[in-house]
Structure formats: structure tokens, C-alpha cells
Amino acid sequence: MKILAIDPGTTTGWAVGATEPVECGHQSFEAHARGSPWPIESRWLHFRRWLIIRCVQYKPTVIAVEKPLMQPRDLVVNGYATHARTLACELSYRLVLVHPSSARAYAGLKRGQGKAFMLRNALDRGWPAQTYDEADACWILACAAGQLSNSTKEAQSGTT
């Protein structure tokens, strides 16, 4: 099983691996790329094309996406997440939605600690994260792998 984890946003973090990230990176979908403003729809389509390329490149069986908070100001981020979810469905990949609080808990983040703590913890684990977005994606991947492992164990214990 290979997981492609996505931290959707104007700068989208991504990580790929089985149970822990072995590669990660980030991609910018800024509104003013190439010297002119991109409408929201163009940014979403650019994201979708980028994600298809990642899927062809890494051949995941699972796409894990951080589930953005449903707030009006998060329209663009929700659009990225929706495109990732629909692409997983179209390609018949398993989809795992990771709540932001689950990823933070998985990273050992406590109240008052910020993204710098998540990045430091990712680096301490030997993960290749260089930015906060990459660290978020790494923790989303680890959390999704844990969720999948737990669901497999529950399914096995229910059949024995």
C-alpha cells in the first residue's frame, strides 16, 4: 500500500510513502502566478492537473487528504480538497480523510504549540520535510497509515 498525502492549500504540501513519508514536497497555487491573477477555477484546475501527475508518478493506492474546516474564508482550500477527493474516487483509490486535530495529535502537538513544533518533530523522526506544509503532509500520511492499520485490525478481529 502506498499513500499519497495531501495538505491542501494555496501552498499544498504532499508526502508519499507506505507507513511513513519517504518523499515530500510542496507546490504553490498562488493567485498571482505568472504575473497575472488566476481566478479560483483556474487554480483548482491547475491543482487537479498537478495531482494527476503525482498519481501517475507515484502510483498510490490511497490518497489521504486533510479535511479542511468548513468556513467561508476557506473556499479555495475546500476546492482543492474536493478535487483531491473526487480524483481518488475517479481513479478508484482508497480515500482517507484526516481531520486537522487528528494530524496535530498524531504529531504530539499540545495546546499553544505551533507548526514549528510539528516540523521539528517530523525532522526528529528523520522525515525529509523542509517546510510547514511538507511537515503537515508527513503527519497526515502517518495519521492515515495509523487509521488504515487500525481499521484492518478491527476488521480482522471482527472475523475471528
For residue range 121-143, list pLDDT tens digits in order: 999 999 999 999 999 999 999 99
Q: Phi/psi at 97 (nearest 5 deg)? A: -95, 130
Q: What phi-psi label fits residue 66: left (phi over 0), alpha (psi between -120 and 50 degrees) or beta?
A: beta
Give the model's pLDDT for residue 130.
97
Return the residue matching grid coordinates 481518488. Answer: 88
Which sequence spans correspond to the domains of the chain?
3-159
Task: Using the predicted structure, report yes or no on whether residue 48 has a pLDDT greater than 60.
Answer: yes
Q: Please state, as a whole number, how many other Cβ atoms lie within 10 Å of the Cβ of residue 66.
A: 28
Query: Tell me, which fold does domain 3-159 have in CATH?
Result: Nucleotidyltransferase; domain 5 (3.30.420)
Contact 145, 19 (CB under 8 A): yes
Give the model's pLDDT for residue 151.
75
Query: For a pLDDT cut of 70, what percent of the chain falls above it?
Result: 88
Give the SS3 label for residue 144. Answer: helix
Task: Using the predicted structure, report yes or no on whether residue 160 has a pLDDT greater than 60.
Answer: no
**DSSP β-bridge partners for residue 26:** 13
Q: How do residues 58-107 score in pLDDT, each as one tens digit?
A: 999 999 999 887 766 678 888 999 999 999 999 999 999 999 999 999 99
